[in-house]
Amino acid sequence: MRGAARGPTLDLFCCEGLHMSLNRRRFLAGTAALTLLPNATLSAPAILRAGPVTAQILPDSKNTTQLWGFNGSTPGPELRARVGETLTVRFENGIGSGSAIHWHGVRIENGMDGVPGMTQPLVEPGQGFDYSFRLPDAGTFWYHSHHRSWEQVERGLYGALIVEEATPPAVDHDITVILDDWRIDRDGTLVEDFGNRRDFSHAGRLGTFARIIPSQDTVRRGDRVRLRVINTATARVFPLEITGLTGKVVAPDGMPLETLRDIDRTFLAPAQRIDLIGDVADTVKFIFPTGQDPYELGDIVADGNNPKPIETPILPLPPARVTPPSATPDHRLTLRLQGGAMGGMHGGDDIWSFNDVSGMSDTPWQRFSRGDTVRITLINDTSFPHGIHLHGHHFHEVEEDGSLGALRDTTLLMRQQTRDVVCVFDNLGKWLLHCHMLEHQAAGMKTWVEVV
């Protein structure tokens, strides 16, 4: 195996022991213009074809990276539709390995969820699969491979899925910002040490280089923008600071907040999203704060002035139509996250487990009746952070004061952290519940529930 890029690296400890090592290579303002930017399409292409692509990940154009993508680019094309519409996409598998597409965060009908062996057959090389499903919620979602995802997502098989509100809020630009890291050498070569035991038992595959890929790279001062940030990394939790913009967080994981939050430093676990609406004061910078010099993930350059800025207040988005949980839950459960390096003993037969069971069992962890309100206490009994994702539903995070917090489909638990979530299981079928550190998922941190 080749090592990660040599040369100056940033070694730092943050987010409660998450060890990060990043190549100290900076973005310079203006170098963000890239050839791989997928242009936002206002409608979805009829076909998503997975295949090899040559991508410009490093800022210098001579060093490219061989990855996989959809329709010739990674990220794949941005799919855009309106809430309530039906999205119909044919997937064609042009890579030399089985695959399938999962539509992350969509409260989808079970047969379209894209989990091979559970909701559909594996799509073999050269074969295809027709996806067609209704989009019940407006918001920022994404799609990605759900087979050997620790390799296929890392190689680039993902893209944004944007569902617009019936009446979108007034903004000058609606910009999707993909945030990812890659394990590449200094010349851009992908380090192909997928599936190694060290990554599986520690924090997962962390890259040597990280950056944003924005759908647009300039704005004007005074523009009102909506930013939809998506963490597509396989394992990295990004601490994130966004400067140059005054505004509000309007939606985590695509689901509108009733009470808007300030744009502060935030953490985004793999698969989590955050929507912001704000007014541009200066170049919008995306910064990975570190104990030392901040690592610049890239920017959207402010060029010129908007002569007629939008002055209306930034308001909450229309609420999602979710079933409210009942005051007394029908079930109270505990899910203990166990294993990994420096973790204690557990009863599972792989590196990671939930409640002493590693990986998929023949019978579901739980079977719920449709409409059950379930309160789950998640206990992270490991030395690493985990982003726990439930398919087919969104759940409320319970705040420290006991109130019901934001709806999410992925919740971040720092090491040794405990959090309750409350979910109304109202979507029929078999649903995965797993860690979105994709190496942890592959090494046992996954289970499933059934709603009947």
Quote the least distance from Cβ 304 to ligand C2O, whole Å.
38
| Residue 391 partner contact from Cu ion, ligand C2O, none using kind-dependent CB cut-offs of 5 to 8 Å | ligand C2O
Quote the least distance from Cβ 140 to ligand C2O, whole Å.
13
386 near Cu ion, rule: CB under 5 A: yes
CB-nearer residue toward ligand C2O: 107 or 391? 391
| Residue 386 partner contact from ligand C2O, Cu ion, none using kind-dependent CB cut-offs of 5 to 8 Å | Cu ion
Quote the least distance from Cβ 203 to ligand C2O, whole Å.
18
| Residue 415 partner contact from ligand C2O, Cu ion, none using kind-dependent CB cut-offs of 5 to 8 Å | none
Quote the least distance from Cβ 339 to ligand C2O, whole Å.
19
- Inter-residue contact 181 to 236 (CB < 8 Å): yes
Single out the residue of 435, 438, 442, 451 in contact with Cu ion (rule: CB under 5 A).
Answer: 435
- Binding segment for Cu ion (CB under 5 A), chosen from 89-97, 103-111, 208-216, 434-442, is 434-442
CB-nearer residue toward ligand C2O: 5 or 271? 271
Answer left, alpha or beta for residue 211, where phi above 0 means left and psi between -120 and 50 means alpha: beta
Nearest residue to the partner ligand C2O, using Cβ: 104
Quote the least distance from Cβ 184 to Cu ion, whole Å.
23
Quote the least distance from Cβ 79 to ligand C2O, whole Å.
15
- Binding segment for Cu ion (CB under 5 A), chosen from 51-59, 103-111, 385-393, 398-406, is 385-393
Q: What residue ranges bind ligand C2O (CB under 6 A)?
A: 102, 104, 144, 146, 271, 389, 391, 432, 434, 436
104 near Cu ion, rule: CB under 5 A: no
CB-nearer residue toward ligand C2O: 213 or 284? 213
Binding stretches for Cu ion (CB under 5 A): 386, 435, 437, 440
